[in-house]
Amino acid sequence: MKIGILTGGGDCPGLNPVIRGVVRTAINAGDEVLGIRYGWKGLLEKDCIALDLRSVSGILPKGGTILGTSRTNPYKKENGSKAAKENFKALGLDALIVVGGEDTLGVATKLFKEGVKVVGVPKTIDNDLGATDFTFGFDTSVNIVMECIDRLHTTAESHNRIMVVEVMGRHAGWIATYSGIAGGADYILIPEMPIDIGEICESIKKRHSRGKNFSIIVVSEGAAFKESDVAVQEKKLDEFGHVRLGGIGEMLGKIIEERTGYETRVTVLGHIQRGGSPTAFDRVLGTRFGVKAYELIKAGKFGKMVSLRGTEIIDVSLEEATKALKTVDLKLYEIAKIFFG
């Protein structure tokens, strides 16, 4: 068999372990793997490289993806879906492994319905795909944010400051919730729960009145005040209809300082959360996902996505995987609220 693999959407730690898992398993079985560069863009342009054992040697600890990525949507290009299907045949592919999040796998779902033999692998640091317990990249991101919060604690305490930490999370606050609990944040603000700024400021004042002269606030980029929409850097939409979020941290910091009188500083972690070497958890999960994706192809189970349920790697339909976002478990958020203030 000749199997294609592409990585689309935002990069994250764990992509290379997936690629390595697919290639090693396929070559051991006598099959061929073709790496499609820069996501769906590579399929539209037939930009490919052969992947062999040498190609994947040493990539396990590397962040990002050796294949490159993009936010290209074939269905937003003139005759894009037609070109994708024609190039799938022209490249002699028997199947295509698509590694991505909601948007990339959404394209895969459409192409499968149109006859392309596709298997999906869930990738997003936001951990917001509902058909899997965890996505690779999330654990690494949470550990990066946790370490940053740990570092901010010392300077916050030294200067009696309020520290606002803005993290990724467009529609779901998983990174903020997990890293906030692990890092001992005093407040965690997420898209699922509108921000009551009056309540936050009063709570900070009470905290200071009992001798706690600093506070750490973690906020998801997609969080919003009760009275307003999410903060955006620009209103231009990408090919999947998303605006570029950012700015909630600065807005929050300014309001807190004005209302409380306490010196406030803002740290926007941004793409730092996506970079660097994957954790052991993400290396193992990515590897297991890659191996399972190849096994699904050999079994002829197309239109499926690999998924972690408990400790088992199973498969679910791509349609089920992409039909709804997984938002933060409110029971977990209630645990976080125990430590607020």
Confidence at residue 228, expressed as pLDDT on a 0 to 100 scale: 62
Same domain, 174 and 253: yes
Angle 173-174-180 from CA coordinates, rounded to 5°? 90
Tally of domains in the chain: 2
What is the rounded distance in angstroms from the CA atom of residue 293 to the CA atom of residue 38? Answer: 20
Q: Do 147 and 129 fall into the same domain?
A: no
Q: Assign residue 296 a region: left if phi > 0, alpha if psi is -120 to 50, beta otherwise?
A: alpha
Residue range 265-309, pLDDT digits in tens: 999 998 899 889 999 999 999 999 999 999 999 999 999 999 999
Last residue of a domain, one of 275, 290, 308: 275
Task: Check whether residue 242 and residue 147 sit in a common domain.
Answer: yes
- Tokens 């209103």, residue? 235
pLDDT at 241: 52
Helix extents (H) in the chain = 15-28, 40-45, 53-56, 80-90, 102-113, 138-159, 174-183, 197-209, 248-260, 280-298, 318-322, 330-337
- Total number of residues shown for the chain: 341
**Residues 155 and 224 placed together within one structural domain of the fold:** yes
Closest alpha carbon to 117 in 136, 97, 101: 97
How much is the pLDDT for 235? 52
Question: pLDDT of 218-260, one tens digit each?
Answer: 999 999 888 765 555 555 555 555 455 668 899 999 999 999 9
Sign of CA dihedral 57, 101, 82, 22: positive
Residue 312, number of CB atoms within 10 A of its CB:
10
Residue 163: beta bridge partners? 216, 265
Judgement on whether residues 257 and 317 belong to the same structural domain of the protein: no
> What pairing do the DSSP bridges indicate for beta strands 162-167 and 264-268?
parallel
DSSP state of 271: G
C-alpha span between 122 and 125 (Å, rounded): 10
Question: Is residue 301 a part of any domain in this protein?
Answer: yes
SS3 119: strand
Tell whether 85 is covered by a domain. Answer: yes
231 with 114, same domain: the answer is no
Q: Is 332 among the domain residues?
A: no
What CATH number is attached to the domain comprising 161? 3.40.50.460
Report helix, strand or coil for 310: coil
Q: Is residue 329 part of a domain?
A: no
In a domain? residue 328: no
Domain assignment of residue 122, yes or no: yes
Q: Is the pTM of this model over 0.85?
A: yes
Residues 112 and 149 in one domain: no
- Whether residue 174 sits in one domain with residue 130: no
For residues 168 and 225, membership in a common domain is answered with yes
Q: Is 126 a catalytic residue?
A: yes
Q: What is the reported pLDDT for 211?
A: 86
**193 and 128 part of one domain:** no
pLDDT at res. 107? 93
pLDDT at position 324: 84
Low-confidence ranges of the chain (pLDDT < 70): 228-246
Residue 125, both tokens = 């640091």
Find out whether 127 and 135 touch, Cβ atoms under 8 Å: yes
168: containing domain:
139-275
Same domain for 153 and 94, yes or no, is no
Question: What are the residues facing 216 on neighbouring strands?
Answer: 163
- Which CATH number is 21's domain given? 3.40.50.450
Catalytic residue (choose from 11, 126, 139, 186)? 126
